[in-house]
Amino acid sequence: MRPRHAERHFVERIGWLRAAVLGANDGIVSTASLVLGVASAGVGAHEVLVTGVAGLVAGAMSMAAGEYVSVSSQADTERADTEREKAELVADHEYERMELAGIYEGRGLDAELAGRVADQLMAHDALGAHLRDELGIVDELAARPLQAAGASAFTFAAGAALPLAVVALAPEGWTVGAVAGSSLAFLAGLGALAARAGGASAAVGAARVAFWGAAAMGITAAIGGLVGASL
């Protein structure tokens, strides 16, 4: 009897995890940077909040559109490669069998065993074997444009809402400090969660995301202050 395989691997999460982390990170960093830049220019709290909300909506739509277009291009390439492989299997099945056996030999099997493995896999699912072992196209990593777009837009909006909530609740005169400090904490938490979800070190993930977020916010705040002083 074939043993039941119940293991789940972190690689299965790559498709949605990448888009979700990218969306949330961009939501926090871009909105916090926008808010800090505007606030550093001496604009009032109401204007800062309105600017931040506009940034949230525009950013979420941009993330969704960008992810959809990007991942759709990947999906188009995968479909084209799949159709090409189908045609090659019909045109020269024996050559494709030898090609697959050669791949297995390159991975360490002897010629006889590689040939038998290729024969059995070709008999079971020739196209699937070539897509997986020749082209590296597997279902777990397949491009899913709508999933990527939805995850990016939702998580961007969720991330952007965090610094906006701080703007709305921060006392007068504390906007810059409150947004900067809380956003760094949010980014560190996001980095840790994303790293854990992907099976990596939470500490390394937190430090990496917080560092680059701090750099982006610091540069934007500095430029905002300079522009505000010169106008």
Distance from C-alpha of 197 to C-alpha of 75, rounded to nearest angstrom: 25
Amino acid, single-letter form, for residue 101: A
pLDDT digits (tens, 9 = 90+) for 63-82: 889 888 988 888 888 888 88
Half-sphere exposure of 228 (CA within 13 A, CB side): 15
Report which DSSP code applies to 86. H
Span 215-231, mean pLDDT? Answer: 76
The residue extents of the domains of the chain are 10-230
Alpha helix stretches (DSSP H) within the chain:
14-40, 45-91, 93-106, 111-133, 145-169, 175-197, 202-230
Span 19-48, mean pLDDT? Answer: 83
Per-residue pLDDT at 1 exceeds 50: no
Distance from C-alpha of 74 to C-alpha of 21, rounded to nearest angstrom: 19
8 A C-beta contact, residue 25 and residue 33: no
Burial class (CB in 10 A: 0-12, 13-18, 19+), 54: exposed
pLDDT band, very low/low/confident/very high, at 11 (cuts 50, 70, 90): very low
Per-residue pLDDT at 6 exceeds 70: no
The pLDDT value given to residue 9? 47
pLDDT digits (tens, 9 = 90+) for 138-164: 766 666 788 778 888 888 999 999 999
pLDDT band, very low/low/confident/very high, at 3 (cuts 50, 70, 90): very low
The pLDDT value given to residue 141? 61
Greater confidence (187 vs 227) lies with 187
SS3 content of the chain, % helix, strand, coil (to 5): 85, 0, 15
Per-residue pLDDT at 48 exceeds 80: yes
